[in-house]
Structure 1
Amino acid sequence: MRILLLALILVVPALMFSWPHALIRADQGDIDVTSVKATSLYPVGITFSISAQSSAEIEEVRVYFRNTGRVTAGAYREVEFRAADADSAGSPESNRSIKGEATLSTGLGGGYIPPGTEITYSFEIRDESGAVYRTPDHVALYTNTAFDWEFLTAGPITVLHYGQGSGTRAQLILDAATEALDRMAPVLGFDPTEPVRIVAFQGFQDLFDALPLRMKALQSRVRTEGMAFGDERVVLIDGLNPDYRGITSHEITHLVVAEVTGRANNRVPSWLSEGLAEFGNVDPTSEYRTALDRGILTNHVPPLSALAFFGGSGEDIIQAYGQGLSVVRFLVDGYGESKVAELMKEFRSSLDINRALEAVYGFDQYALDTDWRISNGLEPLPKPEDRKSLRALLPTVTPSPTPPPTQTPTPIPSPTLSPARQPAFTQYPALTPSPTVTSAAPSPTSLPQPSPEVIVGDSAVESSDEPGTGPASPGCSSPVHGTGMFSGDPALLAILTLPLAMLATKRRPRDQ
């Protein structure tokens, strides 16, 4: 009933820079910054604004920004500015005193940034005399300004909540998160000191409105109850869900897995990632185990190699969660908790689950799958190299010839196919709510270098180097029952139905 999405990896090789605290360069001249602020345009963007003046003409202004947290590189945008005394048509009198702004889009596609994200930003101003001035760092908290947020903090965890009576539930959420961190620290081998922000929404609709577009598209099949964003160190949950303790602890564990695996996190197979997250669940339900037991009873249990990513129907996904948890428990019960931490460390360097398993346990994923199946009363699957192709497993259907047309067409019975087994700033004064949330943000200035590759699973995708563009994986959800939709492979559906369509095709008689 959970899902994870990882985002906001800011790696800009051509523009990497350090973030010294309150840096002011020696060649700053007499540049004077009179005001800076960040304005939330949630859910479409953040606008960074500046007013500055100098005795020389100001030639260039940039805003540098990064996610506040473990990431130490950032990106910048050119700030569009004009003379502070320009007329309404924009004709400048002098660029010695300027006002400018730049907008970071956060709403769609790879630019998505979850609410609850802290963004560190600063401005750099250059004038024609060669003087350069960098402002001190400022921190903006990106949130939905329609809500009156309150903050509850203990240790590294802060819960953001709103609404009448939300404080009591926020405390319970904080307790569940703390319990999960304490529980998983020895298992994953980490010290829980990194800051975490949990955004607790008042109901599913408020959570749904905050989800990235690609997750909203999945809600007809699964209902997202929580989502974790590793680089932002943010968890979004439905704070009114009765299973809030389980959701919170599951998502917090996802953040921990992301922390201990680093950039390798997007290569962790879903069976292991979700299995660990459920292992960290402090209030588990029986739904996953029931779904797995049903799969074992009907001999419908896919190999672990097919669970690098979860897919299929809602019931298939729920069973996959149960299978992942069961395999993780099998490893912990048989070899001890400390081995899991070794596995994650090895995976971080090898980026390969087979090599990591062999280095730590002495066996690969197939051998693990075999031993787990035998322990659950299942027959082992053939070795991957001995398995038949999908086409070889499908029944062979030979279409009958089409009869000649008659006045009354004779129906051709369709054969019956045997079923195939499917194997604002911390004090936040400068994060000013926008008086009107617009439907779209101004187009951001492109960064001046090519985007690097970010590896997602077994494929490479292009990513731009700014907040909200890191690798992502699906989030944590429960199934939506009764949707009646096919959620398997479209190619498989076509292979299965084409012979039937050919047999069922009949020529209609000509009009007399």
Structure 2
Amino acid sequence: MRLRLIVIVFVVSVFWAVPHPAALAQSPISVSSNQATTSFPEWITFNVELKSDSPITRIVLEYGVDQLTCGQVVGKALPTFTSSTNVKTRWTWEMKQTGSEPPGATIWWRWQITTADGKQLLTDKKTLTWLDDWRKWQTVSGNQVNLHWYTGDKAFATELLNAALKAIADLGHTTGLKPEGTVEIYIYASSQDLRNAIFYAPGWTGGRAYSRQNIVIIGIPPNSLTWGKQSIAHELTHVLFGRSTFSCLSDSPTWLSEGLAMYGQGGPDAESVLLFNAAVSNDKILSVRALSGNFSEASDVANLSYTESHSLVQFLISSYGQDKIMKLVNTLKNGTTIDSALQSVYGFDSDGLEDAWRTKIGAKPRRAASNISATKTPTLVPTYVPIAGLQIPTRTPTPTLTLVPPTVTATSTSESPTVIALAPPTGTSVPTTQAMASTNLGTIPILVSIGILILGVIIIAITRRRVA
């Protein structure tokens, strides 16, 4: 009887000594407010208000963009604040420092907080859509395409959407390229409106494709519908091609991407063809290796680069068939260099391609100087020294560009900061938090082990006494 009583008392004492799970789930750090304000296209400011039983000593903002990346890419910033049990702080992401994210991009962020007694908290991720949402955007949707516009009637938008859907169907039939996920297309009322939405775009930019984010932006006035349909097909091809060839091991050549895009839109216009023919006659065409890097910002050279790229792709398709061009795309996705991929599929490298192509179009033989490889510059954005505490979240991928339409009507716009009403990913109105590992968790196994040891000693002692 005495033994049973001892065991019961011991078990009860051990139970009360072990922290209850409900107590462990409660965090000593609470989030009173967690939101972001934007001034498109300039900046995003992340704001947080915190309370804790112990002074807060460290706050780290983690942030990034939803896109295809090579591994996990997380930006980190250290906002300034005074250690206290009640803290308000903020940190601003300056787009001029890092280069613009595309309109429609999904930005995410979360906070990591540490207190003086070692407690930690990692908040849930929150997101916002980076967009000039002071415009009256409207949306029409089709199969794997959402088209957003703010100028022109619904018939205008529907024609552009139908052009996008037709382009996707044609590309699937001729090249095998297909969309991965839903493509978001943003139609600006002019090329000037578009350039106002992003930093560091060349003056001739009429559209951009961001394949990693599945986003296309184009400036299409309602009176340039024909050009707009061609441009949508062009930029959609870039998105489909970019996602199909995405690799962390190598880059695809620009001539292949732009050539397929020109092929997808139906080829260059008559004036561009005349300029290309003149360049062939005067031996002014660019080498294939020169077309592997970024195109010139000079509009005349850029125009020739696009037309040449189309001619190269058309040569490959007409001479060797559509199956091989898709095989080339798939080979590049595996991280193969363009020379190795060409050699594997066609039996020649970039120089061999240029030799065969020049013969086909009646151009003069390739110059030996074209053996020099072009330098693939990673971005059009100039390098700036980041502001204190900033770690750039990702290398800005080079977006593909479209020339402006022949005539556009430029409009100027003004912007004011917009407060984003942000819902947590769970859909609840109250920000939720997630407690990180508590320092109390490590004591539980120790207490249980000691208890079992003591209980064993007691039982052995009592047993021996009875035997004696």
Under a length normalisation based on structure 2, what TM-score does the superposition of the two structures give?
0.69
For residues 94-243 of structure 1, the aligned pairs below 5 Å read 95-106=84-95, 108=96, 110-163=98-151, 165-185=152-172, 189-213=176-200, 215=201, 218-219=202-203, 223-240=204-221, 241-242=224-225, 243=227
Aligned twin of 1:251: 235
Tell me how far 1:324 sits from its aligned partner: 1.0
Question: 2:180 & 2:251 partners in 1: Cα distance?
Answer: 24
Counterparts of 1:246-395 in structure 2, within 5 Å, are 246-263=230-247, 267-281=251-265, 285-309=269-293, 310-311=295-296, 313-382=298-367
Give the 3 Å change call, closer, same or farther, for CA 322–249 of structure 1 in structure 2: same
- 1:475 aligned onto 2:413: no
Return the alpha-carbon distance in structure 2 between the equivalents of residues 162 and 386 of structure 1. 48
Amino acid at match of 2:240: V
- The C-alpha deviation readout for 1:164-190, integer Å capped at 9, x for no partner, is x45433333322222223333355555
Measured against aligned partners, the alpha-carbon deviations of 1:237-262 in whole angstroms (never above 9, x if no partner) come to 11214311111111121122221222
Distance of 1:276 and 1:193 partners within structure 2:
17
CA offsets, 1:210-248, max 9 Å, x none? 2322x2xx42xxx21111223333222112143111111
Specify the alignment match of 2:35 in structure 1: 37
Residue 313 of structure 1: how far off its partner (Å): 4.9
State the secondary structure of the residue aligned to 1:80.
coil
Distance 1:341 1:172 in 2: 29
**Preserved CA contact (<8 Å) 1:227 1:251:** yes
> CA–CA distance in 2 between the matches of 1:370 and 1:445?
52
Distance 1:130 1:284, change over 3 A: same
Match of 1:445 among 389, 413, 417: 389
Structure 1 residue 53: Cα displacement: 1.9
**C-alpha distance after superposition, 1:138-197 (max 9, x if no partner):** 22011124423333333433223224x454333333222222233333555554232322
Structure 2 distance, partners of 1:168, 1:40, is: 32
Give 3-state SS (helix, strand or coil) of 2:54's partner: coil
**Is contact 1:347-1:353 (8 Å) kept?**
yes
Q: Partners of 1:300 and 1:231 in 2: how far apart?
A: 34
Given that residues 246 and 284 in structure 1 are in contact (C-alpha distance below 8 angstroms), is that contact kept between their aligned partners in structure 2? no
Q: If you compute each CA radius of gyration, which structure gives the higher value, 1 or 2?
A: 2
The structure carrying a bigger helix percent of its residues is 2
AA at the equivalent of 2:230: G
Instruction: Report deviation, 1:328.
Output: 0.5
Q: Is the 8 A contact 1:357 1:364 kept in 2?
A: yes
* Residues 207 and 404, structure 2, Cα contact 8 Å, conserved in 1: no
Letter of the aligned partner of 1:115 in structure 2? P
Higher mean alpha-carbon deviation, 64-73 vs 320-329, is at 64-73
**Percent identity over paired residues:** 24
Contact 2:351 2:371 in 1 (8 A): no
Cα distance between partner residues in 1 of 2:104 and 2:141: 14
Unaligned regions of 5+ residues in structure 2, if any?
Answer: 1-23, 373-385, 408-468
Q: Which runs of 5+ in 1 are unaligned?
A: 1-25, 83-91, 388-441, 448-464, 482-512
Kept in 1, the 8 Å contact 2:33–2:49? The answer is: yes
Change (3 A) 1:133 1:176: farther
TM-score if structure 1 supplies the norm length?
A: 0.64
Q: Once the 2 structures are TM-superposed, how far is the Cα of residue 330 of structure 1 from its aligned partner?
A: 1.3
Query: What amino acid maps onto 1:181 in structure 2?
Result: I
Residue identity opposite 1:170 in structure 2: A
| Secondary structure, aligned partner of 2:31 | strand
> Cα 1:313–1:30, aligned 2, differ >3 Å: closer, same or farther?
closer
Q: 1:177 to 1:202 in 2, by over 3 A?
A: same
The SS at the match of 1:55 is strand
For 1:378 and 1:446, how far apart are their aligned partners in 2? Answer: 51
Aligned AA for 2:161?
A: L
Letter in 2 for 1:97: N
C-alpha deviation, 1:362, in angstroms: 0.9
In structure 2, what is the Cα distance between the partners aligned to 1:377 and 1:195? 42
RMSD: 3.1
Shift of 1:46: 0.5
- 1:96 aligned counterpart, secondary structure: strand
Work out the number of aligned pairs and report it. 365
Residue number in structure 2 paired with 1:428: none
